[in-house]
């Protein structure tokens, strides 16, 4: 992962390699500005030559992928990969809890008429859980522009064409012709059915689009009648109905539950696709206010580029393949996962779902110089928690903190073992490596790479005591 560089006036310069960053720090020609993403500020240099840098965005319902690439004559060189995790579900749940508390207060003593009848929503209004996706993505893009000299932005504007999925013949047969034939429908079905066979739950095998109600029996090409199946199940089902197939097949286990799951899953609403389509134009309009040229692409084009270049499926890699892409270099980089956590709340009382108090929080927001949300490194020398831990800290008044690492929470870490890496800014950071297997403990070498190297001490040798 490239290291971002700022000049003396805090203007962004072209990123450098990790080796060059270590040399700059060892020679004391730069200082650390941020740890996530790792950013340096040069002490003596002002200004410099910048190249063409494009910021690519792959909006999603739960996660949004971002990629920063340097454009050259040979192709695009990936500098940074980011996956932004939204918290729209938590916002929706909090609003539901607030609604329950208000309802309890309204009917506690006497009946009070609701007031929502005289409230109007402005044009272009979005639900808070949807507006959060736009605001968070825009905020991260603004921070990246302060660290990298971005010259253009590319966004995947149309991920799923819901109208085309529901009625494939809406614009004639020509609408489905061309190189990207069926890519958007297939991509949506893979996400809807969890990238496994709907009948035998087989994974890591070629999957085919299959009609639940065969076309010979009057089945249509609507998205609710399509599923994903392996070659064996698709061939064995043939023109049978779903009930006959589960009754006669000898390969399937737990037939009744599997058939019920298929019937439930095929009627599931297009919730995630609707969330993306609801926010895509608002995000596009927000990107246009940056003053940079904004290019757009489709989801089918993104998948076509990814399969043509042999790049695996992740949100960050999808962002790399957005738009017109010929060649991509240096894409095998660790991905920085940024989770939107918020900055806490003023409420110091925990409530039940009915609005009754169940616990009280401490009034102080800081304990021993640490706040909840700070990124820390804890080195525990002995005991059950021995090892090095990196993550987001949750403070306690007793001085015994919890650290949220990539593999889970580690409880009972004393504040004396914690070292501050970055102050809380409303986000949690984790550098995800491709070969990571979910182990909570981080080796000491990786922990040292997360912080700048300590300068060597020079002076007189220690005297004999």
pLDDT on residue 71: 93
Residue 323 to residues 282, 304, 316, 364: CA-CA distances in angstroms? Answer: 19, 10, 14, 49
For residue 360, what are the β-bridge partners?
A: 349
* Average pLDDT estimate for 232-256: 82
Q: What is the pLDDT of residue 346?
A: 81
Q: Does the pLDDT at position 287 exceed 50?
A: yes
Q: Provide the token pair at 6.
A: 């700022």
d(CA 79, CA 69): 5
pLDDT digits (tens, 9 = 90+) for 26-36: 999 999 999 99
CB 333, CB 81: distance < 8 Å: yes
Residue 310 has pLDDT above 50, yes or no: yes
pLDDT of residue 220: 82
CA 221 to CA 223: how far, in whole Å? 6
Radius of gyration of the chain (CA): 26
Region 298-313: what's the mean pLDDT? 88
- Residue 421, φ and ψ in degrees, nearest 5: -110, -40
Rounded to 5 degrees, φ, ψ at 386 are -60, 135
What whole-number distance in Å separates Cα of residue 287 and Cα of residue 188?
Answer: 26
Q: How much is the pLDDT for 164?
A: 52
The answer to whether residue 423 scores a pLDDT higher than 80 is yes
Cis peptide before 37 (omega within 30 of 0): yes
Strand (E) or helix (H) holding 230: strand 226-230
- Band (pLDDT 50/70/90 cuts) for residue 140 is very high
Band (pLDDT 50/70/90 cuts) for residue 166 is low
Q: pLDDT value at position 445?
A: 39
Q: Give the helix/strand (H/E) hosting 67.
A: strand 63-71
Pairing of strands 152-158, 366-367: unpaired
pLDDT at 458: 45
Give the pLDDT score at 9.
93
DSSP conformation class of 315: H
Q: Would you give the DSSP letter of residue 397?
A: T
The pLDDT-based confidence of 70 (bands split at 50, 70, 90) is: very high
- What's the mean pLDDT in 419-437? 80
Least confident of 141-150, 209-218, 367-376: 209-218
Residue 438 contacts residue 406 (beta carbons within 8 Å): yes
pLDDT per residue as tens digits for the range 362-394: 888 899 999 999 999 999 998 888 999 999 999
Looking at residues 205-214, what average pLDDT do you find?
Answer: 87
Reduced to 3 states (helix: H, G, I; strand: E, B; else coil), residue 417 is helix
Tokens (6 digits) for 444: 């000491």
pLDDT at position 184: 65
Token pair, residue 291, equals: 């003053």
**Percent of the chain's residues with pLDDT above 90:** 41
Average confidence (pLDDT) over 235-242: 86
Question: How big, in percent rounded to 5, are the helix, strand and coil portions of the chain?
Answer: 30, 25, 40
Measured distance CA(45)–CA(68) in Å, rounded: 24
What pTM did the predictor assign? Answer: 0.74
The residues pairing with 395 across neighbouring beta strands, listed in sequence order, are none
Q: What pLDDT digit, counting tens, does each position of 76-119 carry? A: 999 999 999 999 888 988 888 888 777 777 777 666 676 666 67
Residues 274 and 61 sit within 8 Å (Cβ to Cβ): no
**How far is it, in rounded angstroms, from Cα 148 to Cα 15?**
7
93: Cα within 13 Å, side-chain hemisphere = 6
What does the alpha-carbon distance between residue 279 and residue 128 come to, in Å, rounded to a whole number?
Answer: 11
Cα–Cα dist 63/427, whole Å: 14
Share of the chain above pLDDT 70, in %: 84
Neighbours of 365 (CB within 10 A): 11
Task: Choose between 18 and 160: higher pLDDT.
Answer: 18
In the predicted model, is pLDDT for residue 256 greater than 60? yes
User: How many CB atoms sit inside 10 A of residue 406's CB?
Assistant: 16
pLDDT at 300: 80
Q: Using CA of residue 173, residue 175, residue 180, residue 185, what is the dihedral sign?
A: negative
> Rounded mean pLDDT of the chain?
82
Q: At what angle do helices 128-147 and 88-106 cross, to 10 degrees?
A: 140
> Could you give all domains of the chain from N- to C-terminal order, each with its CATH number?
3-87+128-157+298-340 (3.30.420), 162-269 (1.10.30), 349-449 (no CATH)
How far apart are the C-alpha atoms of 253 and 9, rounded to whole Å?
66
Average pLDDT of the segment spanning 288-301: 90
DSSP 8-class letter at 73:
S
The mean per-residue pLDDT over the stretch 438-448 comes to 41
Average pLDDT rounded to a whole number, residues 185-192: 78
């Amino acid at each position: 992962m490239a290291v971002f560089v700022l000049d003396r006036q805090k203007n962004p310069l072209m990123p450098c390699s990790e080796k060059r960053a270590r040399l700059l720090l060892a020679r004391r020609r730069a200082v650390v500005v941020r740890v996530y993403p790792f950013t340096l500020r040069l002490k003596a240099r002002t200004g410099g030559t910048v190249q063409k840098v494009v910021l690519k965005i792959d909006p999603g319902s739960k996660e949004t992928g971002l990629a920063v690439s340097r454009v050259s004559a040979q192709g695009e060189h990936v500098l940074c990969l980011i996956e932004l995790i939204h918290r729209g579900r938590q916002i929706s749940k909090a609003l539901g809890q607030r609604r329950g508390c208000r309802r309890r207060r309204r009917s506690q003593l006497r009946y009070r008429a609701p007031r929502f009848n005289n409230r109007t929503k402005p044009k272009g209004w979005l639900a808070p859980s949807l507006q959060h996706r736009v605001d968070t993505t825009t905020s991260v893009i603004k921070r990246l522009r302060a660290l990298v000299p971005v010259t253009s932005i590319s966004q995947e504007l149309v991920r799923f064409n819901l109208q085309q999925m529901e009625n494939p013949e809406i614009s004639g047969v020509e609408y489905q012709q061309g190189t990207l034939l069926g890519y958007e429908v297939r991509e949506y079905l893979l996400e809807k059915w969890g990238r496994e066979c709907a009948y035998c739950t087989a994974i890591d095998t070629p999957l085919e689009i299959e009609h639940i109600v065969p076309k010979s029996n009057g089945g249509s090409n609507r998205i609710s009648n399509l599923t994903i199946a392996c070659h064996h199940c698709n061939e064995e089902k043939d023109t049978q109905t779903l009930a006959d197939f589960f009754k006669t097949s000898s390969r399937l286990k737990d037939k009744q539950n599997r058939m019920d799951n298929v019937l439930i899953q095929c009627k599931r609403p297009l919730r995630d696709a609707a969330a993306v389509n609801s926010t895509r134009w608002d995000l596009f309009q927000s990107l246009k206010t940056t003053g940079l040229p904004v290019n757009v692409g489709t989801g089918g084009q993104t998948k076509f580029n990814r399969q043509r270049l042999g790049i695996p499926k992740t949100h960050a890699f999808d962002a790399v393949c957005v738009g017109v892409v010929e060649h991509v270099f240096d894409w095998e980089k660790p991905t920085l996962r940024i989770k939107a956590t918020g900055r806490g709340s003023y409420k110091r009382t925990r409530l039940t779902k009915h609005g009754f108090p169940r616990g009280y929080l401490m009034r102080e927001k800081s304990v021993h110089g640490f706040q909840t949300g700070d990124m820390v490194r804890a080195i525990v020398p002995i005991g059950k928690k021995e090892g090095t831990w990196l993550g987001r800290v949750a403070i306690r008044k007793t001085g015994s903190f919890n650290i949220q690492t990539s593999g889970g929470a580690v409880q009972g870490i004393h504040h004396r073992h914690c070292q501050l890496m970055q102050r809380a800014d409303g986000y949690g950071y984790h550098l995800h490596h491709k070969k990571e297997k979910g182990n909570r403990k981080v080796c000491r070498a990786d922990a040292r790479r997360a912080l700048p190297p300590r300068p060597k001490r020079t002076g007189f040798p220690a005297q004999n005591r």
